[in-house]
């Protein structure tokens, strides 16, 4: 087991990345945590206000595709490990602009892998950890679960780019001996989630009494994982995961989109003291997303068996915390829903 000191977290200003940064900064005061992020529309340093002055934290603004920048950073900081989350992450955006997903998710990952080959020469305990998605496995029918040996079968430009980056990580392990580990997780939810994704979008729209755009017939099924449980799993995999292995991370928590939407409506009616059934009236079925995967569900028994991880909050607790966070952080919402995002939102959801 290695005892790393200088850890690079990429994409640390994003949704999951900010929780991972906070978790590592607070849990490991003797490490130094570097957050590398270019701050796209999805990156927001407001997510990290509570740790920005910590002694063991530094932020570097830069692009993971820029080899000059990353090589310089690697040679200065002498990293013991990289936890790589920086990515373009939204499926709808990947349909309208696939190349930007190839650029960041594939070129960016390979660029970091190249820098890591230099790091491992100086430090054999170096480890590259790629954070990936269950969407690389494609879609399931009504039954069955994704395991670590399910063949890759990505259906969207987003999942194709993540599958590609997973393959490059594995290939660098096989070809150049780079120590690596990969985890593929299900849909995350929780505080700081950009309101283009289902749960925060709908919470925001319910607050504002705007329509809730449900794709197709609403029968798409996803497994939901509370983001802080994911951060705890990432900590375990980074420290204890076996070299060259993949770990699936899921919430054992499958929901059809329409049922999840109705649950959110009920919880929000209570929170906002609205008459029962008020928010459900906002549900609007919209034209399906092309190539939409019917169902994702994860078998997370390997990480449970090998590393002892399991989700710590129930869905009800996680949703309650999430809703409370959005209600208490209207200013955060106002900031992220201005500017570019507004234009994008209008393009996607205007009836």
State the catalytic residues.
Answer: 134-135, 158
HEC states along the chain? CCCCCEEEEECCCCHHHHHHHHHHHHHCCCCEEEEEECCCCCCCHHHHCCCCCCCCEEEEECCCCCHHHHHHHHHHHCCCEEEECCCCCCHHHHHHCHHHHHHHHHHHHHHHHHHHHHHHHHCCCCEEEEEEEHHHHCCECCCCCECCCCCCCCCCHHHHHHHHHHHHHHHHHHHHCCCEEEEEECEEECCCCCCCCHHHHHHHHHHCCCCEEEECCCCCEEEEEEHHHHHHHHHHHHHHCCCCCEEEECCCCEEEHHHHHHHHHHHHHHHCCCCCCCHHHHEEEECCCCCCCCECCECCHHHHHHHCCCCCCCHHHHHHHHHHHHHHCHHHHHHHCCCHHHHHHHHHHCC
Nearer to ligand NAD, 15 or 202 (CB): 15
The CA radius of gyration of the chain, in Å to the nearest whole number, is 20
Among 128, 129, 172, 194, binds ligand NAD (CB under 6 A): 194
Residue 159, interface with ligand NAD (CB under 6 A)?
no
Tell me how far apart the alpha carbons of residues 130 and 178 are, in angstroms, rounded to a whole number: 12
Residue 213, interface with ligand NAD (CB under 6 A)?
no
Nearer to ligand NAD, 40 or 164 (CB): 40
Which tokens belong to 69? Answer: 């920048």
Among 4, 7, 11, 146, binds ligand NAD (CB under 6 A): 11
Cβ 102 to ligand NAD, closest distance in Å?
12
Sites for ligand NAD among residues 74-103 (CB under 6 A): 85-89
Residue 63, interface with ligand NAD (CB under 6 A)?
yes
Stretch of residues binding ligand NAD (CB under 6 A), selected from 58-66, 73-81, 144-152, 266-274: 58-66
Nearer to ligand NAD, 127 or 193 (CB): 193
Cβ 41 to ligand NAD, closest distance in Å?
8
Cβ 268 to ligand NAD, closest distance in Å?
21
Residue 185, interface with ligand NAD (CB under 6 A)?
yes
Sites for ligand NAD among residues 26-55 (CB under 6 A): 37-40, 42-43
Tell me how far apart the alpha carbons of residues 250 and 298 are, in angstroms, rounded to a whole number: 5
Nearer to ligand NAD, 341 or 349 (CB): 341
Residue 164, interface with ligand NAD (CB under 6 A)?
no
Nearer to ligand NAD, 39 or 272 (CB): 39
Residue 16, interface with ligand NAD (CB under 6 A)?
yes
Residue closest to ligand NAD when measured from CB atoms: 14
Size of residue set near ligand NAD by CB under 6 A? 30
Lay out the site mask for ligand NAD across 306-345 (x = CB under 6 A, - = otherwise).
----------------------------------------
Nearer to ligand NAD, 13 or 119 (CB): 13
Among 131, 199, 268, 336, binds ligand NAD (CB under 6 A): 131
- State how far the alpha carbon of 86 is from the alpha carbons of 63, 160, 288, 340, in Å: 9, 16, 28, 20
Backbone angles phi, psi at 62, to 5 degrees: -175, 170
Residue 160, interface with ligand NAD (CB under 6 A)?
no
Contact positions vs ligand NAD (CB under 6 A): 11, 13-17, 37-40, 42-43, 63-65, 85-89, 104, 108, 131-133, 162, 185, 187-188, 194
């Amino acid at each position: 087991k290695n005892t790393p000191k200088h850890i690079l977290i990429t994409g640390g200003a994003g949704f999951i990345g900010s929780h991972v940064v906070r978790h590592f900064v607070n849990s490991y005061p003797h490490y130094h945590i570097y957050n590398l992020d270019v701050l796209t529309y999805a990156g927001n340093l407001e997510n990290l206000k509570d740790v920005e002055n910590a002694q063991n934290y530094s932020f570097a603004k830069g692009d993971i595709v820029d080899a000059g920048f990353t090589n310089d950073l690697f040679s200065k900081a002498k990293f013991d490990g990289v936890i790589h989350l920086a990515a373009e992450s939204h499926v709808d955006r990947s349909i309208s602009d696939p190349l930007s997903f190839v650029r960041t998710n594939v070129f960016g990952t390979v660029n970091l892998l190249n820098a890591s080959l230099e790091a491992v020469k100086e430090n054999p305990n170096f480890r590259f950890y790629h954070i990936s998605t269950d969407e690389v496995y494609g879609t399931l029918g009504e039954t069955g679960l994704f395991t670590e040996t399910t063949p890759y079968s990505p259906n969207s430009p987003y999942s194709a780019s993540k599958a590609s980056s997973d393959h490059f990580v594995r290939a660098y392990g096989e070809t150049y001996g780079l120590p690596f580990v990969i985890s593929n997780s299900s849909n995350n939810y929780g505080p700081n989630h950009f309101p283009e994704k289902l749960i925060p979008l709908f919470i925001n729209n319910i607050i504002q009494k705007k329509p809730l755009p449900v794709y197709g017939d609403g029968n798409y099924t996803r497994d939901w994982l509370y983001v802080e449980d994911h951060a705890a799993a990432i900590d375990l995999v980074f420290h204890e995961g076996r070299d060259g292995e993949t770990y699936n991370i899921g919430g054992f928590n499958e929901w059809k989109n329409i049922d999840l939407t109705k649950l959110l409506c009920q919880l929000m009616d209570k929170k906002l003291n609205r008459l029962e059934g008020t928010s459900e009236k906002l549900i609007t079925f919209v034209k399906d997303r092309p190539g939409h995967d019917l169902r994702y569900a994860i078998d997370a028994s390997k990480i449970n068996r090998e590393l002892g991880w399991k989700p710590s909050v129930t869905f009800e607790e996680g949703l309650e915390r999430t809703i409370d966070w959005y209600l208490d952080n209207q200013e955060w919402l106002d900031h992220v829903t201005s500017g570019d995002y507004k234009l994008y939102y209008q393009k996607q959801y205007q009836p």
